[in-house]
Structure 1
Amino acid sequence: MSKKDFVIEAFPRDDQGKGASRRLRREERKIPAIIYGGNKEATPISIWHNELKKDLENEAFFSHILTIDIQGKKESVILKDLQRHPYKPILTHADFQRVDKDHEIHVNVPLHFLNEDKAPVVKLQGGVISHQLNEVEVICLPQDLPEFIEIDVMDLELDQVLHLSDLKMPKGVRSAALQHGEDHDQAVVSVHLPRGAKVDDEAEEGSEEEGEDKE
């Protein structure tokens, strides 16, 4: 699986507060952000709004080790939180957490479902595949972090449900939810007949029984 490098240009931010943040967004086209963790003090920074917005269009950005370049000083981080304007397409704040190669991280990783349009249960039996989850929280060392996790649904059968425990995790990666026991083994994807199809089947059976009664 190929890895893309994301480098975010950042600047030290001394002037803080709501007024300063508004000026930053309005006059400099930047947004306030913060880097925390790693047994270091939190570092307030500012980053280019439009550059971050462009990066966010890439799904991999959310499950990647990112590099923040603060005037030549580089930090390895993951995106932990992102705040947006309530109704305008504007980012307002970002939180980044420092990472190092010796400490595990918790990251939400997207799920990619394979062969949904080719699975026999869909093509031949009219089944409908439903996603209960589109991402999963994993625990791993930074170097083991996958961009996504694949789930092949080719062999799913009617009324089958795949749970977190059924997923094939990459080496060195485990589910955060399953750390808390079997009670947290959430459903991920399932396949059923459409609701209308079940009603039709029952109606057909009912009409057949009526016909038998008349005979």
Structure 2
Amino acid sequence: MTIEFAPSLMCMDLLNVKQQITVLNTRCDYYHIDIMDGHFVKNLCLSIDFVRNLKKITKRPLDCHLMTTNPENYVDQLIDIGADYISLHAETLNGQAFRLIDKIKQANLNFGIVLNPETNLSTVKIYLHVANLLTIMTVDPGFAGQSFITESLDKIRQAADMKSECGYGYKIAVDGGCNKTTYKRLKQAGVECLIVGSSGLFRLDENINTAYDMMLKEYKEVC
């Protein structure tokens, strides 16, 4: 199985965005973009306007991860921009999940689900069959550089088993703590995409091309 890599752009050098994107456009599989509201998580990060401008300089797929209490306030804007994946937190969907999923699907975009470390897979079982991307948080949402939560590995295994047994089409991604200390365990658990941030990519070297080479080298050494 070929592992995909998705840089988490909240961790990039925001003073050199265009230069880093120009390099990453030739290397990564897709981009992970965290949009926060300061309420669902106590942080503010990238914005709808950032996504709109990024769309102008890349053809790589954009996965917009809504860390927002009211995702319905953002979905229409992301549809208009043409975000390739709109990933919604399971914890925010009760009472509106199917309406938002239908809206995303009718726009011919991909629907993603994100699970906090404490959220059971059973919470989203009722709409897993229509998901294109399942992102499992292995750190608490909102801030980069946290310690990896090993209990999340069981959830990844469950997601991989359910995908195989039921014939579901979602891709399993992991967000948080993806680096040389966790790559092997994540791959063995069934992860298909690694969302790489500070420890996995951006802090490895100031030169993003060199950092990407180092990331791939570290992955190959342990996997």
TM bin, normalised by shorter chain, reads under 0.3
Q: Which has the higher helix share?
A: 2
What TM-score do the two structures reach when normalised by structure 2? Answer: 0.22
TM-score (norm 1): 0.23
Indicate the structure with greater strand content: 1
The structure with the larger Rg is 1
